[in-house]
Structures are given as structure tokens and as C-alpha cells.
Structure 1
Amino acid sequence: MTSAPHRVAVLARHGVMPLELGLVHQLFGQARSPDGVRLYDVVTCALEPGTVRTDADFGIHVAHGPDTLAHAGTVVIPATHEPDETETAGRLSPALAAALALIRPGTRLASICTGAFVLAAAGLLDGREATTHWQSADDFRRLYPAVRLNPDVLYTDSGDVLTSAGEASGIDLCLHLIRRDHGAAVAAEVARRTVVPPHREGGQAQYVRRPVAEPRVSSTGGARAWALRHLDRPLSLRELAATAGMSTRTFTRRFREEVGLSPGQWLARQRIERARQLLEETDLPVDRVAEQAGFGTAVSLRQHLHAAIGVSPSTYRATFRGGMSPG
């Protein structure tokens, strides 16, 4: 018996950016099981049904009100270009508070760009890591000091609450959720149809404009490509820097500027992604997956995979190899 599609409710507020609203529908709407079954049902709602202003020269008619939030498995909150109390005073408006109160316990929550201010104002990000657009980071820290803000990443995942950075980072977040729910193959197919990368490297740091301090005659891109071809063996910082023709100090600084992560953090993520790919797409024993992903032993792979996504290699394979996860 086929389960019903997972309901995703998108809360559109006045001043919403059409790109953020559309990308949620575009990405989740294209997700299909191997036999073509639609995996998500995406519904837009507003604090009041009717015309919702956008930051463009047109409005959007939204037929559904906040009651829609009570029937969702995931609620996505895009940003607005009309700052409200969440961005100026650190509190929810009565209408927004009433709408959020309709969300059932256990519902997954996600924000795009400055939509994170809403989750923070509701107290849902206290003590958690979160992100928002880098231009709003100072205001966010001032209003919500209890949140562990990380403005250098594209998105954060705390399990039931997720946040993303600027508008396009909403694409990264949606693909991450699809990947988390149904595996890399489904997410990759959605990315392929949308003509976007299934997983972008690095974080917001690479998009922040900085004063030019020295001429850039080289980058770390070649070293990253070389590392991906050699993930099956130990890779030291000194070796990566030598591949790029830099000192370790210069390489580390350039790497973080270009990618938004340290070389070690980036390498760990790539090894996890390689292991997930091998677990999903091959029948290799776990110890061989560990070797090819550069973890060396099955024990090390189990520790790293559990720390990253909370499951063992065998559980991950049972969920995604040759089938779909529960909706």
C-alpha cells in the first residue's frame, strides 16, 4: 500500500520573495519514487487567505489560511522584504504567533534566509545552531543571543528544525531534506531536472565581498579536485597545500575564504558523502566502503556516519539501497 505524500506547508507573508516561494514547490514537487509516485504535497498558506504582497511588482493569491499549518509534516518559512517585529523587536506579531501555535508537536520546521528570525522569535532555535543571510547576522545576534548563529554555512540541520542562508540556499536546504528523506538518488534526480548541483561545497563565506588584500594567482580548486580523486587514502594538510603550491598557512586561509570550511571539515564531509553514495549504489561490504571513502575501518565509518546523520552504515543502506525511506 502506497503511503500518502508528505505534506509541506509554505507560510507566505507580505513581502515574500517569489524565488523563495517557488523553489520549495519546484524542488519538492519534482521528487518522485522509482516507480513515479509523487513524494510530497506542497501547499502555500498565509496568515489570511487572499492576495499576499511580494517584493516584486505583482502579488500572489493564496487560497489557504493558517489552518493549513496544523496538517503539515513540514512547515517552511521563507523570508520577507517587509521587516516585521521578528526582525526589529525580537518578537512575534499576534497573528504570526497564533499561526505558529497551530503547528502540531513533532512537525519539522525549516526557514529560508531571514525566515530564521521567525523561528528564533518563537524560541525554537534557543541553544541550537542556526544560520541566516550574512547581511542580517549582526541583527540576528543582537536580537537572539541564545541562538548559536553560524553565518558561514549554507544551511543547518538540528533534526526537527533547519535553517538556510540566502535565497538560493533554500535550494540547498530543500535538496538536503529530500536527500535525508529519500536518499541521494532521488535528490540527485530532482537537482538534475532543475539543473542545479545536488550538493554545493562550502558556505556563505565565499559570497561575502572582501577588500582585495593581495593578488589571487592561484586557488584551492585544483587541490579539492585532486583530493576527491584520492579519498581512499590518508590526506594531510601539508600534502593538500603542496598540491596547490602553497604553504599550509596560506592554503588554510585561502581554502576557508573560498569554501567557507577548514580543509579538515571539507574533507570529512566529502568522505561522508562518498560513503553514503557507496552504501546506496553498491553492494560493497561496509569495511570496503570504509576503505574507499578514506575512513580506513568499518568502526571509524560507523562513528563518523552516526555523528553526521545519526544512523549506522547498515541502517542507512537498509533504508536507501534499492528502496525508499518511510514518508
Structure 2
Amino acid sequence: MTGADHRVAVLVLDGAKALDVGIAAHVFAKRPGMPYEVEVCAERAGTVEGWNGLAYAVGHGLDALERAGTILVPGFRDPATVTTPPAVIAALRAAHERGTRIAAISTGAFTLAAAGLLDGRRATTHWHYTHALQERYPQVEVDGDVLFVDAGQVLTSAGAASGIDLCLHLLRRDHGVALANQVARRLVSAPYRSGGQAQYVPRSIPEPLGDDFARTRAWALEHLDGDLTLAALARRANVSPRTFSRRFTADAGLTPLQWVLRARIDRARELLEATDLTVTRIAQATGLGTDTNLRRHFGVIVGTSPTAYRATFRDGGGEAG
């Protein structure tokens, strides 16, 4: 994206959950180096009753949606019984027809479904409400096993924490992995959790990974060009490979080697964005070995070639991955 800052409208509806509203507004908050402007809006300007006794003083009405490049709809209480106001439905449909990107956090997916924006599309919401979403809107392909779904112009996420993942994903789409990682560090959040990662594990909470595992991950990020086999990682954490794999996967939702591959591709993206290194040199620097190997994995994970990715972001940013 180029030119003026990208305007993000956060649409607050009755019963809106404070954490969801805060995530949407905070991730894209205007700061040095952040090319976004946020407007919080509602059906009409004024006070909007929230959840758990909270209320929001909202300065903009639905006209804010007409100025937005992205609309974020936070989750709200009792989504299975709430009726979306006709004016909100009309405004969202009009925005969609204009090509505006529209994303929902958690139960905000019910609002998108009410507007017909999820018809025939794959979507998700908080796992507690996936059955209700499917029953109320049978034309939606509900996937209750993922953190978020990117269907192009329309995106949906699961619970509040996955709203952060969704917003960071939008940052990566717009401006690349470097800015997304910068924001993730500010939020003290994981820089990357794939949309396909499971929402929750239906069993007892796994044993915390502890400092040794955290140090192992940090060490791995500093040595992506080295030997990062399962055996090497387990040695670093001072546990058996089987124990390391089991506990790492339970905590992260990815196997150790899947995590390493994602980290290497993320580092390759940073180098493509910020340096003039050749693809061959980047493959070596990230531990992927050859440019053929880099191109293959890059294409699977990012959906484009390293060369096309670099060209997109050298031209000022855009939806390259």
C-alpha cells in the first residue's frame, strides 16, 4: 500500500467486548513508522453499551466505513440471539461492494454472516459459538478448528488472542514481515501463528515449556543457518527428542521442525524486504540450503516466489503474502 495512511474503521456494536475492541484499535494505532489511521465507529456516534457494564464513547457513525480501507468488527455478547441493525448490514454490504477489506474478531463473524458476506465462504469464530454460527447461517462453511481464515477480502478469527494473530497477518499482507514483527514485539506477542493452527487442544493443559525451551527457541532464531534438527534442539533444551517434540507441539501447535521452517521463511522475507542479497545467499543465510529449496517452501507458505515478493515490497508494499 502506498500514499496516504491506510484507514482502519473499528465497528463497535452493542455488547462489544473490550478486549476485542482494544486489539483492533491498538495493533493499528498511529505511531512513528505505522502507516495506519484508526477510527472507532458505531451505528451512530454517541454512547454504545458494551459487555460486563462497560460502555464506549464513540465519535463516528457509519460514515467512517466509507472512508476505510479496512473494517474490523470486534466480537460481542450473545451473538446467536442478537439481530444486526439493518443500517449496519447495508453499510457493510456497500463497503464490500466498494472492495473494502472486512475482518471480524471472534463473534464479529455473526455480523459479517448477517450481511451475507460469508455466504459460500470458509470462516471461523470462537469455538464456543461455531455450532451456533453454522446453525444460524448454514450457507457459511464454518471451520471451528483454526485461529483465523483469510478468504481474501473477508477474514474471520477465533477468540480474542487470535484477533492479534489476524491483525498481525493483515500487517504482513500490507507491509511485510518486518513491520509485523516490530508490532508483535511491542505487543509482546508471538510474531507468527498460522491461521491453520488449532484453536484449542481438547485435553488437559500441557506442562509449561519453561525457560529452557524459551531459551532454545531464542537460540534457534539466532542460528537459523545452523543445524536445527530435532536432535539438536532437544540437546539444547536438555531433554530427549521425543519429550521435546511432544511438549513443543502441545504448546506451540506446530512441530519443532514446522516451527523452524516458518522461522526460516520469516527471516527470508525480512532479508528480501530489507537487503539486496541474492536468493541463493538468502537460502544459505536462513539454513534452507539452496535457492530451489527456498523457492519451494516459500511458495507453499507465502503463496508467491521470493523474487515476486521482493518486487512487491520494493514497489511500496502490497498483498504479497
Query: Does TM, normalized by the shorter one, top 0.5?
Result: yes
**1:143/1:202 Cα in 2 relative to 1: closer, same or farther (>3 Å)?**
same
**1:224/1:98 Cα in 2 relative to 1: closer, same or farther (>3 Å)?**
same
1:12 shift after superposition: 0.8
**1:52/1:272 Cα in 2 relative to 1: closer, same or farther (>3 Å)?**
same
**1:223/1:40 Cα in 2 relative to 1: closer, same or farther (>3 Å)?**
closer
1:273 shift after superposition: 0.7
The answer to whether the Cα contact below 8 Å between 1:66 and 1:102 also exists between their aligned partners in 2 is: no
1:151 to 132, 145, 156: 145
Q: Which amino acid aligns with 2:47?
A: T
| Residue number in structure 1 paired with 2:92 | 100
| Residue number in structure 2 paired with 1:290 | 283
1:69 shift after superposition: 2.1
| Residue number in structure 2 paired with 1:60 | 56
Q: Which amino acid aligns with 2:17?
A: M
1:31 shift after superposition: 4.7
Aligned residues: 314
| Residue number in structure 1 paired with 2:240 | 246
| Residue number in structure 2 paired with 1:79 | 75
Q: How far apart in 2 are the matches of 1:101 and 1:42?
A: 21
| Residue number in structure 2 paired with 1:70 | 66
1:197 to 177, 186, 189: 189
TM-score, normalised with respect to structure 2: 0.78
TM-score, normalised with respect to structure 1: 0.77
1:171 shift after superposition: 2.9
2:252 to 236, 239, 259: 259
1:94 shift after superposition: 3.6
CA offset digits 1:108-154 (Å, max 9, x no partner) = 1111122123334444445655443333344445555642515343x
Q: Is 1:211 aligned to residue 204 of structure 2? A: yes
The answer to whether the Cα contact below 8 Å between 1:27 and 1:171 also exists between their aligned partners in 2 is: yes
| Residue number in structure 1 paired with 2:3 | 3
- Show structure 1 runs of 5+ residues with no match: none
The answer to whether the Cα contact below 8 Å between 1:46 and 1:62 also exists between their aligned partners in 2 is: yes
| Residue number in structure 2 paired with 1:278 | 271
3-state SS in 2 of match to 1:30: coil
CA offset digits 1:260-312 (Å, max 9, x no partner) = 22334323321211111222233321111112223222233223323333332
The answer to whether the Cα contact below 8 Å between 1:16 and 1:79 also exists between their aligned partners in 2 is: yes
- Show structure 2 runs of 5+ residues with no match: none
Q: How far apart in 2 are the matches of 1:202 and 1:221?
A: 19
3-state SS in 1 of match to 2:28: helix
The answer to whether the Cα contact below 8 Å between 2:127 and 2:144 also exists between their aligned partners in 1 is: no
* RMSD between aligned residues: 3.7
Q: Which amino acid aligns with 1:23?
A: I
Q: Is 1:13 aligned to residue 40 of structure 2? A: no
The answer to whether the Cα contact below 8 Å between 1:17 and 1:79 also exists between their aligned partners in 2 is: yes
